[in-house]
A and B are shown apart, each in its own frame.
Chain A
Amino acid sequence: MAPSRSTRISLQSVDLRALDYLTSPSANLLCPICHSPLITPVQTRCLHTFCSACISLSLERSLTCPVDRKPLNHDDVTPAPIMIANLVNDLMVLCPNRDKGCTSSCARWLVESHVREDCEYAAVKCAKEGCDGMVERKEAEGECVHEEVECAFCEQAVRKLDIESHYKECPKLDSDCRHCSKSFPNPELSAHKLVCPEEVIDCAASHFGCSYSSRRSELDEHLSHCHFVALTPILQLHTERIETLELENKAIRQKLDILVPPRPLPSQSGTSSAANDSSSSGRDMTSEMQDYTYHLYSEYEQLRSDVERLNAQIRELDVKQDMARFNEGLRYNDEMTGVRSAINGLRMQLHWLVASRRENATGGAGAAGARSVAGSSAGGDGRRMSDSARQVVKL
């Protein structure tokens, strides 16, 4: 026994916002935001009424009442009086399956149950055991349209549901050409479409800017004097040249990208994979280039580390040498001081010796008259000399 109609429930959902109303409702029942009859009406602290969903959206953008711009919080929104909700719920709406053919209308609060339980056009599960297909409720009592049947003409297995559309392409049947309304066997129809004299087609140079179109049989006349068609060879040539230049440009850009990478080796794998993604035509060239550049890079990196190491060594040696030189300088300085003092000592001794010799010489050869004067001065000198000599000795 087939299940009764009322137990077959449609899972089709009803979007209340998308409903069409039988009569245009009073402007007082419209939400000021969506301009549709209120759905789940709510009221603000400033006593304005909106759909619950509309005011939440609006408050997400700005915490003010959309009507009077007074500050408004989510907490200031409360359900509207039940009377308002009843007024909008009682409005007559058309069934959402109107496009499929349902002509019924009902109060808005009943529309969900209408679709769920009554509407002849709502989608319900197929009655056949184990079939997952969906059918309109009015057809649910009939046989399952999802099982496959054999086409009467080509003996191919086709779902019952699709048999109508299958007849349009069944190789054993004829169909009418849409343009010349002559009948052709289906396999030949596509070939005919390319030559059908009645089809309206664009001028052959339409992609170069000609906006002319006419039936295929009459197009020849236009082609004979169309300026665009006359220019087509040269335009074609230019397009091709631009295309080759673009390709060449792309290849050059890829080479450039590889040779002048944005960053050195650490990110090399990343950049190369990005370059790999962007190239589709020059992929093999790129990979070859990549291998090569990888070699170059590793070599370059090695050389760089070598140079760095050498630099460090040189710096170290520099420092060592500087220190050595400095130490040596200090040593020389000390020695110099020693030598200088020794020389000074020698000089003193020399002075003393010279002075004493001069004294001896004057004492032996001097006149008797001058002796007292010279003697006194020489005696002073001698004393001074001896003083300084004594000093040197002390040193």
Chain B
Amino acid sequence: MIDFINFYLIPGLTLGSIYALGAVGISMIFGILRFAHFAHGDLMTVGAYAALTAVWVLGIPALAAIPIAIVFTCLVALMADRLFYKPLRDLPTIYTVIASFGVALMLRSLVQTFWGTDSEVYMTGFQKPVVLFDIFRVATRHLQIIIATALLTLALHLFLSRTQMGKSMRAVADDPALASVAGLDTERVIRWTWIIGAGLAAIAGVFVGLDTDVHTNLGWNLLLPMFAAALLGGIGKPLGAIAGGLIIGVAEEICTYPVFGESLISPSYKTAIAFVIMVLILIFRPQGLFKGRLM
């Protein structure tokens, strides 16, 4: 049981936190701009590399580089929206999906061009795990990632339920036509959607780098579980997406847990769990797992 918590649950929650932060943006963009953003994983990659550069140039730890990563990634996202998504706003949204597919490849090739294709790490050396109650051994970085995600979830909840922009976002997600009749500035709401989505993606990207390493396919490889998390949580419900991300992260780790001496599935098929969950959701509950007022 202790082994289960140390080696499966905690890593699962860590992975889930990363999925969750990425899925929030996907869910919000789907809710407000009404398209599946295929470049979201690559925004994470951009964030991870922006932080890597800050670590190299300024010699600061990766966590301290997060604000730089956020700012850079937000600028990239706002620029992509202005140049490639906004001109297609009046067309059926599937054209924007195609455009975002192109943006995903462009972002990745830019990263590959400027940073190269080698895997990098934020820091070398061994971090001593944190020991809790003498039995739980948790890697420091896992603890940092899980706590940070919990705090960000709380902040997101307060933002969506208490602030004017948060309520405006939910209103636009509910009914864009009525939102403009009520005089809300839709373009401003869209800008903030990008800022929050890209900001959280940047944080998630840095977390991936902290947890494993930084490489150019980092974000793209996570796109499938993040889509699955957003669908699981119910499109347009950012807090649902967080729950969805955690569920998928934990499910992926648990499925490799040796129940009867052998793991349920081969670890190389971990990503398939996300796909299976996605397919089940699409078949049985396309509206997402949660009912009611989860935002």
Answer yes or no: are A and B bound together in one complex.
Answer: no
